[in-house]
Structure 1
Amino acid sequence: MPENTWQKSSYSGAHDECVEVRSAGGLIEVRESDDPDVIVSTNTSAFTSLLHTVRAGELDHHA
């Protein structure tokens, strides 16, 4: 992931309502594209763990 470049999911297509992520200063930052001033930061390990959890479907019962 390029440093300081916001990326959105390929599932978002041309829509602007999406979650964006970037690497900045050794942290992973996440924001909602329609409220870009609110940024949540975490470390790489925690973000990787979240991605594995989501991909495994472990949070699907919350939908």
Structure 2
Amino acid sequence: MSDWQRPSLSSESDVCLEVRTVDGMVEIRESDTTEITVRTTPKKWEAFLLGVQAGEFDHLVADAE
């Protein structure tokens, strides 16, 4: 099990997404509601990250312009 990691850009805020790997799975949680955890496969996590990098979710971000 790895430690929870936060994105470096969220260091100014206490509220962010955290991620870690457990038993070959990727776990994701919000730092302010740590009792709720989502588990997914590394392949699905990679596909999600590629979508983020490609800008597929930019319309969901406030003040994205």
Asked if Structure 1 and Structure 2 have the same fold, meaning a TM-score greater than 0.5 normalized by the shorter chain, the answer is yes
Q: CA RMSD in A?
A: 1.1
After superposition, residues 1-63 of structure 1 pair within 5 angstroms as 3-63=1-61
Q: Secondary structure at the match of 1:28?
A: strand
Q: Percent identity?
A: 39
Moved over 3 A (4+): none
Q: Structure 1: give runs of 5+ residues left out of the alignment.
A: none
Tell me the TM-score normalised to structure 2 length.
0.86
| More strand as a share of residues | 1
